[in-house]
Structure 1
Amino acid sequence: MTALWSTVFFFIGVAIGAYYMKRRTSDHRSHELEALLTDLQSRHENYQNDVRSHFEHSAQLVNEMTQRYREIHEHLRTGAQVLCNDPKRAREDNPANQFVGLSGPAPEPQEPNPYAGIESGDFSYYEPPRDYATKDPLDKGMLDERYGFK
């Protein structure tokens, strides 16, 4: 009878130990995951702050460069007006008149659009290239499945 009770208590102890270990392992794992999540969140916030500060600094540098460009342009324009202003020259020959003011953007040159005269969807005027067409009715064209095979 003692062996029976010893065996019963042994299995009860094993079951309690297994339950405790399983619970402890899941708690330990959840703490590891929480620590990992916290670390990832802090790294992500640091990354976002780095990106924000990078673009703020880049915008500041671009603004400074733009201001310097304007100052250089204004210096060149006033220098050209002062140094090259010659009443004997014609207006279009005078280099002082070559600088455009910075008050507004200069219009960009546009290339002519070959499709401007065609209403949308109507491409009947244009034909595909005919370099694949057969020259002789008995010849095989380039689009033929057996083209190039002898």
Structure 2
Amino acid sequence: MTALWSALFFFIGVAAGAYYMKRKTSDHRSHELEALLTDLQNRHENYQQDVRSHFDHSAQLANEMTQRYRDLHEHLRAGAQVLCDDPKRSRDDNPAHQFVGLAGPAPEPQAPNPYGNIESGDFSYYEPPRDYATKDPQDKGMLDERYGFK
């Protein structure tokens, strides 16, 4: 009988030990995963901050470069007017008149938008798509409703 009780207590101890080890291992694993997740979140936030600061600095440098370009352009234009403005020269030959304003030349006039003034429901201006595929007179084009049916 003592052997039976000993075996029973042995198996109860093994089961309790296995349960304890499994619980301890899963707790340890969950702590490792939480630490990894926290580390990854911190790295991602640092990366986002690096990207943000990079583009802030890039925008600042581009704005400074643009302002310096404007200053250089204005300096060259003013210098050309002061140093090269000679009333005896023709306008085309005078370097003082070669500098264009920073706004640039007037934009080219664009073709009017044919669809811009169509009132709601007025589709008379629209054309149906054209079928440019070469075909015999008895063949149907690819845009025909019966194309591909026999």
TM-score computed with the length of structure 2 as normaliser: 0.75
| Equivalent position SS for 2:82 | helix
- CA offsets 1:87-140 (integer angstroms, 9 cap, x no match): 2356677542443444x687643421241674145342342325359774xx11
Alignment pair present for 1:28 and 2:22: no
Equivalent pair of 1:133/1:141 in contact (CA under 8 Å) = no
Aligned partners of 1:117, 1:31: CA distance in 2, in Å? 63
Assess, with a 3 A threshold, how the Cα gap between structure 1 residues 14 and 110 changes in structure 2: closer, same or farther: farther
Residue 99 of structure 1 aligns with an amino acid whose one-letter code is: F
Aligned partners of 1:20, 1:36: CA distance in 2, in Å? 24
Aligned partners of 2:52, 2:131: CA distance in 1, in Å? 56
Partner of 1:49: 49
Q: Gaps spanning 5+ residues in structure 1: where?
A: none
Equivalent pair of 1:85/1:94 in contact (CA under 8 Å) = yes
| Equivalent position SS for 1:145 | coil
Q: How many residues align?
A: 145
Partner of 1:115: 114
Equivalent pair of 1:132/1:141 in contact (CA under 8 Å) = no
Aligned partners of 2:93, 2:123: CA distance in 1, in Å? 46
Partner of 1:12: 12
Partner of 1:145: 147
Q: Gaps spanning 5+ residues in structure 2: where?
A: none
Quote the RMSD (CA, aligned, Å): 3.1
Alignment pair present for 1:99 and 2:109: no
